Amino acid sequence: MFCFQCEQTAKGTGCTVRGVCGKTAETADLEDQLTGALIAFARVVHDAGVERPCAHASLPMIEGLFTCVTNVCFDPEAVREIIARIHERVEHVAESHWLDPADYQDFSMASLWGAPEDVRSLKSLVLFGLRGMAAYAYHARALGYDDQSVDDFFFKALYETSATDDPDKLLALALETGQTNLACMALLDQANTQTYGDPEPRQVELVVEPGPFIVVSGHDLHDLSMLLDQTDGTGVNVYTHGEMLPALAYPELRRHPQLKGNFGTAWQNQQKEFQDIPAPVLFTTNCLMPPRASYEDRVFTTECVAYPGLVHIDADENGHKDFSAVIEKAKELGGYPEAHAFTGINGGTQVTCGFGRETVLEQAPAIVQAVKDGQIKHFFLVGGCDGAKPGRNYFTEFVEKTPQDSVVLTLACGKYRFNDLDLGTVAGLPRLLDMGQCNDAYGAVQVAVALADAFGCGVNDLPLSFVISWYEQKAVAVLLTLLSLGIRDIHLGPSLPAFTSPDVLKALQDNFGLTTISAVDEDLAAMLG
Ligand code: FSO
Ligand code: SF4
């Protein structure tokens, strides 16, 4: 096996024996085969002259890419099943366009991993960005939203990665991936807010009430919504975990009184947080870690998430999922006999969420005035993934040290490093504004653009600094989006991706001022200077 797509990759260079994430060599090799099949699929669609692949083609393409995201699928059988579906599609397209299916064998990923360093680096940037974007496209589609230009791009970009080794073309393709991901995140924003309303700010006490409950993790609001419909009136409460926390702010989800609050923190703490939990856990997406024996009988998966031996809940032909096994498990386990209070990473007893795009934009005139009056001097976007490796305390320290006359926007699971801190208020606003999940980077971009418009300048001229923590491929997609918008001087941490070759890194530094985090005080001084 060879895999170097995430931040925790072995020795900072690549997992070759078994994934640090727990992925076996068998599954990793199958995911390579799946990716090779997807490239062959893109090639046959290209050669057949199909300009607009329909939903029968786009859905398996999106599922195939999403399956390969870190901490999604650990189950070789699940990967084999999707490979078989892709092979069927390849044959179907070839035969219906008088092409020979034999010309569309799985592309060899070994040839990509063994390619000259810069080619491998640029192609990886594109491929991993596509995997991240596929997750967002998948969630939007679950709510009935799709965008043909996004769907087309998966095919076009995968085809291009097999057709060219030209570094300039590949760098342009990486930026186009970022641009398309902005459209994809806009689509998901539209899907979420049109279906569940605009998030509204809310304080969440870190307490689990007595009685049976279910913990829901991952990013998929549609799955949570179906579970809420099915738990109505059952006496079973529902708590979010990790990236599902922002769901607590959507009015249409909140109308279910059993959606009580949040349990636990970010994904990498799940093995500790779930070991004694008297409740089942439903994983709607990444980040799943190999479950310990102490709680594996309580973990359920759905969608592309799969792990051998865990109960997987599939949708029926109408898209309906039957969560009764999860609800029964909750009743059987019974929950805590008394209220169970816990704290965030820093000992805090509550967190605030729901500062989505609309809420922050409504405040824009007041924010602009506060900047003009000198009450707010700087904005920081401190967002991205959390992770297990050391070095991530940087983000806690960074936020703690941001000056009182600054605002910190945050999103994605990295916020658990500091979302229980009380940073106080500035100009009547909380200083820490949680904008939502990683895909809500779209909202943060809209806020930045609105501020730039209000001040008649570009985003890079604003007193705004980006401090991004990355772990997996959705963060790669978001980073490419920010770069495609020309946003400069992003600080990325805790380390740079193993898949950026020295030349590619130099190009990103020269063109965008991309840099890695160093010491908090130095970085802050540079940003405020
Ligand atoms: Fe985190 Fe995992 Fe949302 Fe990622 S839960 S690390 S960028 O999947 O997707 O932020
Ligand atoms: Fe290694 Fe990350 Fe790949 Fe898992 S996803 S095999 S940890 S590089």
Q: Using the atom order of ligand 1, give the atom closest to the CA of residue 470.
A: 7
Q: Write out residues with Cβ below 6 Å of ligand 1.
A: 219, 242-243, 267, 286-287, 385, 412-413, 437-438, 471-472, 474-475
Q: Exposure string (b/e) for 169-188, b if CB count within 10 Å is 16 or more?
A: ebbebbbbbbebbbbbbbbb
- Cα-to-centroid distance, 472 and ligand 2 (Å): 9
Helix or strand holding residue 469 (H, E): strand 464-469
Cα(32)–Cα(110) distance, rounded to whole angstroms? 8
Pocket perturbation via mutation, ligand 1, pick of 5, 219, 382, 417 by most ligand atoms within 8 A of CB: 219
| Residues 6 or more apart in contact with residue 352 via CB below 8 angstroms | 201, 202, 203, 204, 419, 430, 432, 434
Are 303 and 313 spatial neighbours (Cβ–Cβ below 8 Å)?
Answer: no
The pLDDT of residue 82 is 98
Q: 21 in ligand 2 pocket by Cβ < 6 Å?
A: yes
Handedness of CA 42, 48, 54, 59 (dihedral sign): negative
Pocket test residue of 139, 244, 287 for ligand 1, highest count of atoms within 8 A of CB: 287
Using DSSP bridges, classify how beta strands 237-240 and 406-410 pair: parallel, antiparallel or unpaired: unpaired
* HEC letters along 162-181: HHCCCHHHHHHHHHHHHHHH
Q: Which atom of ligand 2 is nearest to the CA of 70?
A: 5
**What distance in Å separates the CA atoms of residue 61 and residue 134, rounded to the nearest whole number?**
8
> Using a 6 Å cutoff on CB, does residue 497 contact ligand 2?
no
Dist CA 529 CA 59 (whole Å): 47
Q: What CATH code is assigned to 350-528?
A: 3.40.50.2030
Q: For a substitution probing ligand 2, which of 1, 4, 5 has the most ligand atoms within 8 Å of its CB?
A: 5
Name residue 261's beta-bridge partners: 239
* pLDDT computed for residue 15 by the predictor: 98
- Around 142, how many Cα atoms within 13 Å sit in the side-chain half-sphere? 28
**Cα torsion through 307, 308, 310, 315, rounded to 10:** 70
> Mutation test of ligand 1: which of 67, 265, 385, 481 has the most ligand atoms closer than 8 Å to its C-beta?
385
Please tell me the distance from the alpha carbon of residue 188 to that of residue 135, in angstroms, as a whole number: 10
Structure token pair of residue 471: 């772990």
Domain 10-195 of CATH type 3.40.50.720: no
Distance 317 CA to ligand 2 centre (A): 33
Domains 207-341 and 350-528 share a fold: yes
- Rounded-to-integer distance, Cα 229 and Cα 218, Å: 18
User: 414 CA distance to ligand 2 centroid (A)?
Assistant: 19
Could you report the predicted ipTM of this complex, rounded to two decimals? 0.95
The bridge status of strand 237-240 relative to strand 213-217 is parallel
Give the number of other Cβ atoms within 10 Å of residue 83's Cβ.
21
Beta carbons of 198 and 359 less than 8 angstroms apart: yes
Domain ranges of the chain: 10-195, 207-341, 350-528
Instruction: Give this prediction's pTM.
Output: 0.98
Q: Which atom of ligand 1 is nearest to the CA of 474?
A: 7
Q: How far apart are CA 525 and CA 103, in angstroms?
A: 57
Which token pair is 460? 């890079």
Q: Are 498 and 411 in contact (CB under 8 A)?
A: no
CA of 363 to the centre of ligand 2 (A): 41
Question: Cα 220–222–227 angle (5° rounding)?
Answer: 100
Hey, which residues does 299 pair with through a beta bridge?
A: 281
**Per-residue pLDDT of the chain in tens (529 residues, 90 and over written 9):** 999 999 999 999 999 999 999 999 999 999 999 999 999 999 999 999 998 999 999 999 999 999 999 999 999 999 999 999 999 999 999 999 999 999 999 999 999 999 999 999 999 999 999 999 999 999 999 999 999 999 999 999 999 999 999 999 999 999 999 999 999 999 999 999 999 999 999 999 999 999 999 999 999 999 999 999 999 999 999 999 999 999 999 999 999 999 999 999 999 999 999 999 999 999 999 999 999 999 999 999 999 999 999 999 999 999 999 999 999 999 999 999 999 999 999 999 999 999 999 999 999 999 999 999 999 999 999 999 999 988 899 999 999 999 999 999 999 999 999 999 999 999 999 999 999 999 999 999 999 999 999 999 999 999 999 999 999 999 999 999 999 999 999 999 999 999 999 999 999 999 999 999 999 999 999 999 8
Place of tokens 């997987």: 312
Calculate how far, in angstroms, residue 158's C-alpha sits from the geometric centre of ligand 1.
23
Q: Whose CA is nearest to atom 3 of ligand 2?
A: 3
Testing ligand 1's pocket by substitution, the residue of 353, 413, 476 carrying the most ligand atoms inside 8 A of its CB is 413
Q: Does residue 396 sit in helix, strand or coil?
A: helix
Measuring from atom 5 of ligand 1, which residue has the nearest CA? 287
152 with 52: CB under 8 angstroms? yes
pLDDT confidence of residue 391: 87
Q: How many residues does the chain have?
A: 529
Q: Per CATH, is 207-341 categorized as 3.40.50.2030?
A: yes
* 265 HSE (CA, 13 A, CB side): 25
pLDDT value for 51? 86
Omega before residue 257 within 30° of 0, cis: no
Dig out the tokens for 126 from the structure: 């594109």
Q: With H, G, I as helix, E, B as strand and everything else as coil, classify residue 77.
A: helix
Helices (H), 235-298: 251-254, 270-273
Query: Which two tokens mark 402?
Result: 């941001």
Is residue 6 in contact with ligand 2, taking CB distance under 6 Å?
yes
Minimum-distance ligand to the CA of 21? 2
Q: Which ligand is nearest to the CA of 270?
A: 1
Alpha helices (H) along 24-116 = 25-47, 55-67, 76-96, 109-113
